[in-house]
Structure 1
Amino acid sequence: MISDPTKRAQQQSEISQMVGAALRRPEAGENPYRVVLRQVRQKLMATSDPYELAHPTEVTRQKVETLTRQIIADYRLAQPVQGLPVLDLPDDEIVRRVVSDVLGFGPLDPLLRDERIEEIIVNGTDIWVIDESGKHRTQTNAGDADSLVELINRLVASTGRQVNLANPILDAQLPDGSRLNATIAPVATPSPAMTIRRHRLVARQMQDLVQLESLTEAAAQFLKAAIQARLGILVAGGTSSGKTNFLNVLAGLFPEGERVIVIEDTRELQLPIQDVVYQTVRYANAEGTGEITQRRLVQNALRMRPDRIVVGEVRGAETLDMLLAANTGHEGFLSTVHANSAGQALTRLVQLTKLASEGSLIDDKTVAEWITEAFHIVAFLRRDPFSGKRRVEEIIELSGSVEQGNRILNQPIFTRDTERGDLVRTPYPLARADRLRDRGVDPTPFAPAPRAMGTPESWARRR
């Protein structure tokens, strides 16, 4: 035992210098926490199985905690001698953050665990969330640019992809089905940006939508009848308007025993059906091969003896294949499309068919006629930017005819009353009433509104 204070201080200094040599000196302005975190990661990479870190157990967590406390102690010992920045956080807080950063997703961990959150938006250090009540800025800090890039790559590690200078834009699906989009420099400046869209089925049954005031009981019964009669239904709306959730509810109304093929860009739908096949696209690998498009999946679905085909969202050449399939005996298609109104959704379908190589060879009138055979109903949804509520704004019916100028004739069946805000039945009679009768569905409950609501002519002037 050394009793001489001078010798003891000298030995302490030597130990501190040895420890400090193992800690790379922080760059100017670098957070000392980052130094500790880096040391923990380096030692774990050298001593641990990557699978263990990707699928941590309680033993793994204890291992990281023990290692972190050791490195914290080393840092504090070297700090006064080496002139390192002061590590001013309590040990327990540092350990908690390191475990979260190494084995979890750091500042996003509590947000990803919160089932109420639908979207997470990261702009540099700022983190915003969107839930059923709207958009909110959190008090959580995403960290510096390097930390955020590391976080993004940890989130997508299971996909085998990463964001870097050579690939500054990343679009990926996380294991839970969430969609992640990230951009870094030189595309995003001065800081990286990331958005995580989490599909949350707020409503699983039509009655849930009624209770949420997305639509009325009368409109709900009409859509149920349309599904029973195998009418094609297109759901339209903007981003985050609730299209996917609405589509999920509609598809859940398919009669028991029908074989359903679901085609999606990323897996989101969860149908309460036994005979259902989910198919998702596959993006090309780093060599540019292996891509499986929605168009190919639609074509393949026709060979799978489907009773119904659901296309999660049409956004390209697959629109043409969907229309062709619907015009060759495959009834009752369901799909969604981005649009600003029910009427514009029809125009969008015409435009999307042109993205197919052969689409430009087909005249617009022919495409419009195909649309009237494929889809009979369009439901338009909108998300209120103030309340956050998602509501059906309008349900239109396609008459089955195309007029001069290739306009698809349609009429509103339900629309929002501009004064009361209610979804009301219009005075227009159903153009497809015979179709309902032929399929064993009584159209009587869906008769036009009383004349007190106006005449078809007066409603036409409103439009």
Structure 2
Amino acid sequence: MMWKKHQEPHRHDGGLKTESCASGSPQYFDLKERIHTRVIELMDMSVVATLDPERLKGEVTALIEQVLAQESALLNTREREQLVQEVQHEVLGYGPLESLLQDPTISDVLVNTAKQIYIERAGKLELTSKQFRNDTHLRKIIDKIVSAVGRRIDESSPMVDARLPDGSRVNAIIPPLAIDGPILSIRRFSRDLLHLRDLEKRKSVTPEIGELLRGIVLSRRNVLISGGTGSGKTTLLNVLSEFIPSSERVITIEDSAELQLRQDHVVRLETRPPNIEGKGEITQRELLRNSLRMRPDRIILGEVRGPEALDMLQAMNTGHDGSLTTIHASAARDALSRVETMVAMTGLNLPTKALRHYISSALNIIIQVARLSDGNRKIVSLQEIVGMEQDVITLQEIFCFEQTGIDKHGCVQGRFKATGVRPHFVDGFKALGIQLSPSLFDPFHVHEV
């Protein structure tokens, strides 16, 4: 048994003998909190640590049922089963969020204070019936999540990024910054790793573009993936990493580890926030500089968002070809402007023309991704950086997606097509044994979706 010796569940005569505890009622929440508290008191943590997850789940369920049997609440069979499951989620998981996190069709869980939880499914937001008891309950779950990865959240540090054990990305913000109460955002990642063929089935990309993407990675081009929030940048980055040869040493650098690389030889680095005294912070820039001394074949930066842009460009320009990163931007040209702005954040006083030349010599490809109005994600543009014309970085688009309309079900209609431009970088494909279809860049070959 997993409860402490000399203790056993005892009967609670809390005045609920004749009072119904319908699901969602204040009495139901009181009962659940009382059972949860009693179960925690009875659990022997030294025994818990020795149990495997399945046995622990069974033992906790049995203990909850015994504690519940001592209560005088009026519950029907469905409510009783629901209560046992919800207390189990409180003890072993993340409370009201647990069932949502177990649903593979949900991509985002958005908690807008204790009484309002939205989810995103198939690109669309839905309001759920799930609720926390109050802000204190929500804070306990947030603390449980962030403490597991060595982070903290309090009034002196009211914002935090963290991750769940499955790699899902978490952001939390609490009062006084969040005016109405604690806010929690969870970006989930598929338990089953997506492959290029999965993106093709979802019509996010065509086989022709996929063929070119494979060649780009194998030929060690430096790639910048650009897009808005939730547009699929990290998903595409994971898919592209599939083509990195297993013989190469890959180093990943992220604010919150979420990449799911498939290779065996991967070194994962993650930033560290400052401690309660404001010391000990390790930034992406410091990790990037350190990674150059770790003999990387490729460096993957989860997202470039600050001064580390300069170090990334330096790495790309000094022999670390085949590097990949993402950036928040609405178009390829905007992505270059953002990189330029980030380099300026370092205080490096370079003439504009020299800086842009440095950027154009480091980056080879910009892939623009977007989430469309129907919730679907697509590669909407693939462009090559070909150099400079006076003070301007020159781009040429290779593939694009053109939206042509919306059908009666609200689904976006459009077509993928080549622009007819043959990129300069494919000239080296043949020497590497990378074969492309002769009609790959034919502008008359249109793929309707």
**Equivalent position SS for 2:178:** coil
Once residues 313 and 102 of structure 2 are traced to their aligned partners in structure 1, the CA distance between those partners, rounded to angstroms, is: 40
- Tell me if the contact between 2:39 and 2:63 (Cα under 8 Å) persists in the aligned partners: no
- How far is the alpha carbon of 1:247 from its aligned partner? 0.8
Distance between the aligned counterparts of 2:235 and 2:130, measured in 1? Answer: 29
- Within the candidate set 337, 342, 346, 1:352 is matched to 342
Secondary structure, counterpart of 2:128 in structure 1:
strand
Alignment map for 1:429-448 (pairs within 5 Å): 429-437=422-430, 439=432, 441=434, 445=438, 448=441
Matches within 5 A, 1:340-419: 340-356=330-346, 359-386=347-374, 388-399=375-386, 401-404=387-390, 406-419=391-404
CA RMSD of aligned residues (A): 3.1
1:234-313 superposed matches below 5 A:
234-313=224-303
Listed one character per residue, the Cα deviations across residues 31-50 of structure 1 (whole Å, up to 9, x for unaligned) are 34444444445545555445
Deviation at 1:315, TM superposition (A): 0.9
Task: Work out the CA distance in 2 between the residues paired with 1:442 and 1:164.
Answer: 55
CA change 1:66–1:162 in 2 (3 A) is: farther
Find the residue that maps to 2:237 and give its secondary structure: helix
Higher mean alpha-carbon deviation, 48-57 vs 365-374, is at 48-57
Residue 211 (structure 2) aligns with: 221
Taking the aligned partners of 2:39 and 2:385, their CA distance within structure 1 comes to: 62
Question: 5+ unaligned residues in a row in structure 2: which ranges?
Answer: 1-10, 16-24, 405-412
Of 110, 131, 138, which residue of structure 2 is paired with 1:121?
Answer: 110
**TM-score w.r.t. length of structure 2:** 0.82
CA contact (8 A) 1:381 1:392 kept: yes
Q: Distance in 1 between matches of 2:282 and 2:328?
A: 22
User: Relative to 1, partners in 2 of residues 1:439 and 1:363: Cα closer, same or farther, differing over 3 Å?
Assistant: farther
d(CA) in 1 for partners of 2:233, 2:86: 37
Could you say if the C-alpha distance between residues 428 and 151 of structure 1 is closer, same or farther in structure 2, counting changes exceeding 3 Å? same
Q: Which amino acid aligns with 1:313?
A: E
Aligned residue for 1:27? Answer: none
Counterpart AA for 2:307: A
Amino acid at match of 2:60: T
* CA deviation string 1:217-271 (max 9, x = no partner): 2211112222222111111101111111111111111123122212222222222
TM-score of the two chains, using structure 1 as the length reference:
0.79
**Aligned counterpart for 1:188 among listed residues 178, 195, 205:** 178
1:63-102 superposed matches below 5 A: 63-70=63-70, 72-73=71-72, 93-102=82-91
Larger Rg computed on CA atoms: 1
User: Which of the two has greater helix per residue?
Assistant: 1
Aligned residues: 412
1:308-348 deviation line (CA, Å, top 9, x unaligned):
11111111121111100111111111111111011211111
- What residue identity is the alignment partner of 1:402? M
Is there any run of 5+ residues in structure 1 with no aligned partner, and where? 1-15, 22-29, 77-85, 454-463
**Residues in 2 aligned to 1:452 and 1:385: alpha-carbon distance in whole angstroms:** 26
Deviation at 1:381, TM superposition (A): 0.3
Distance in 2 separating the partners of 1:447 and 1:105? 49
The one-letter code sitting in structure 1 at the alignment partner of 2:26 is N
| Aligned partner letter, 1:112 | L
Supply the AA of the counterpart residue of 1:408. I
- 1:424 positional shift: 0.8
Q: Secondary structure at the match of 1:432?
A: helix
Contact preservation (8 Å) 1:222, 1:446? no
Query: What residue identity is the alignment partner of 1:262?
Result: T
CA shift digits 1:5-53 (9 cap, x unpaired): xxxxxxxxxxx9x9669xxxxxxxx934444444445545555445667
CA contact (8 A) 1:145 1:191 kept: yes
Q: Map of 1:161-200 to 2, 5 A cutoff?
A: 161-200=151-190
**Does 2:98 align with 1:109?**
yes
Matched-pair contact (CA < 8 Å) for 2:254–2:303: yes
Alignment of 1:28-47 (within 5 A): 31-44=26-39, 46-47=41-42
Out of 321, 327, 335, the position equivalent to 1:331 is 321
Determine helix, strand or coil for the equivalent of 2:414. coil
Q: Distance in 1 between matches of 2:328 and 2:378?
A: 15
